[in-house]
Chain A
Amino acid sequence: MITGQGVTKTFKQRGGFLPGREVKALRGVDFAIPKGGAASFIGESGCGKTTLGRIIAGLERHDSGEITIDGTPMSSLRPKQREPYFRRIQLIHQDPYSALNPTRTVHQTLDAPLSLRAARTGRSRAWVDGRAQELLELVGLDPGYVLSRYPHQLSGGMRQRVVIARALTVDPEMLVADEAVSMIDVSLRLGILALLKDLRERLGVSVLFITHDVATARYIGDDGELYVIYRGEVVERGHVETIISGPVHPYTQSLLSAIPVLHGLERPGEEPVTPTGALDESRLDAGCLFARRCPFRTDRCESEHPLLGHGGGTPQEHACFHPAPRNVVAMPVGHS
């Protein structure tokens, strides 16, 4: 179980002699990912979802708030003590081409972390070799073919599987997959998604999926929770299927409306929402952060800041003063 309360992060841009500009990447985010569960962070690039993923994976430190892993608050520990906790949370990079060392074979890549573990737990070399094969088979690769290869000799999909196998060497509790399929050929993407789903079911590894595409998030686990993040804030949170079938926040609705419709197979949703203007980077933080782009804004949205809750009696949590489910999702032709 990994939870976070009020996690914030501000990046300071260096401005030479001028005072540095501050960018609020996260403005107090709460989350909870149960053991073996699935969660997805979705939002546009720059919304803070990747930063949050990196904080959860221990690759970056947050400014304030608390992250608790299996009941242990991380702020109570010294950096060295935190390491074993964060080691159980492994990040799967977006780019399988840079995530593997081009000068090392797959065997070498898996051998290093496994040997380290073997040394710590007094296991034998045979265990290391056996485990490497096991893990490759687990991620759907043929060890005989893959072990002696260099990354460039593998396809994008195979590389991403190797990356996942490497993450599994430390028996992680959670995989954080940051846009893990966006650089992989379309015909192979689903294989990776299915693998993550399969690992969840078979090994009980929880999966945190970070993406801008809701449809892929759904394939990791339709039982999982979806966090819609906008400018460092969660604006809607609930079960994947609940949100897809009845999104209430206009930002979520915009995201879902923007998914291309496979005309011929699908017909577009009846009330698509298009945000007005582009991602707003202005530092005016009063009121609703989405107000400037929201087609449904009122005076209240400009002045008052909405908080996450079940306002209006919706099944999911949202941060909108005027929640209204809209039919924005494309439906298969012939589906009623």
Chain B
Amino acid sequence: MTAPVITTPGVPGAPGAPAAPGVSGTRATLRRNFRRGVWRVLRRKPSRIVGVAILAVFAFMGIFGALLYPARLPRDDNALYAAPSLAHPFGTDFEGTDVLALVITGARYVLLTALVTAVITVALGTAVGLFAGFRRGRWDSVLMRITDMKLTIPALPLLLVLSTVWKFTSALEMGLVLGLLGWGGVARAVRAQTLSLRERGFIEAARGLGLSGRHIVCRELLPSMAPFIAMNMLIAVTGAVYAQVGLFFLGVLPFDANNWGVMLNLAVFGGGALTTTTALPYMLAPLLAILLLTLGIVLVVDAMDEIFNPRLRED
């Protein structure tokens, strides 16, 4: 018998390594490693920490902002369009209500809509794209034709028409509509990614091993696309914010609730913020909020690739 030619790789630290840990242990370790990796990636650039901080502040505003103020914000008839001061950092509006309070309480509608839109856009887009790209053939043709048709529908005019019959009182409704209008681009992009990934050796190997389609899609394809999907999600958030704020600003939608778009509309068309300076802080405050939110997202998107790629996650 010849001894099997098996070379043990000369690995530093190998002898001291523990015997293979149990499955549950491995999962926990993986999760811990992932969290550490994310932290490492964020720390790499201070800008990313800033981005996360900004998003955290907005999340806090969206969830708890309304609780900080009474249901009906106090008015002060003596201080209409007051200039910024310590009591009113961004001045007051036409009713003498604190602008900062308006921005904070108005965040919930805007952010909730944005979140719902992003989730629907990405979930629907990814599902359609993955399915079309993975199945190919007839399914691919049908789904992609639908996608193409959807892409040709101009969103804004459609929204204008819809708004005549639908009031969008709840953020969920608004988000649902925007989401259903937005998934086409994501679907196309995800399909393209799927088509290129499925030619890779590891997908072919998974099929050769008889692994189920669900396993291949959920465990092999999806994680590889995670950075891409996460990026799309964040970008969809900004898109949704612009879209709804734009609609309210144009005054297309009736304003039941307070939100940033309503503020902009009132500041510009009611307060004449574009012609006089009195209402300027009233207009600038929601704009600043949108700007900050976008900035936060841009700063965080920068880290997505590194967070979801195990190689880049390391030192």
A→B interface (CB under 8 Å)? 57-59, 83-84, 86-87, 90-91, 93, 95, 98-105, 107-108, 111-113, 116, 125, 128-129, 132-133, 139-145, 147-148, 150, 152, 155, 157-158, 163, 166-167, 169-170, 191, 194-195, 197-198, 202
Contacts and interface: CB of A to CB of B under 8 A. Distances in A.
B23 interface: yes
Contact of B14 (A84, A113, A144, A166): A144
A101 B29 contact: no
B209 A169 contact: yes
Contact residues of A: prevailing secondary structure = helix
A150 B311 contact: yes
B308 A144 contact: no
Given A87-B210, A104-B223, A107-B26, A99 B201 contact: yes
B20 interface: yes
Interface string B293-315: 00000000000000011110000
B205 interface: yes
B310 to A, nearest CB: 4
B72 interface: no
Interface of B: 4-9, 11, 13-14, 17-23, 26, 29-30, 200-202, 204-212, 215, 219-220, 223-224, 226, 308-311
A246 to B, nearest CB: 28
Contacts of A100: 201-202
B11 A83 contact: no
A141 B17 CA distance: 13
A95 B219 CA distance: 21
30 contacts: A87-B209, A87-B210, A93-B205, A98-B201, A100-B201, A104-B219, A104-B220, A105-B30, A108-B219, A112-B206, A112-B219, A113-B211, A116-B210, A132-B20, A133-B20, A139-B6, A140-B6, A140-B7, A141-B9, A143-B19, A144-B14, A145-B9, A145-B14, A147-B21, A150-B311, A169-B209, A191-B7, A195-B5, A195-B6, A202-B4
Nearest to A83: B210
Given A107-B26, A145-B14, A99 B205 contact: yes
Contact of A144 (B4, B18, B29): B18
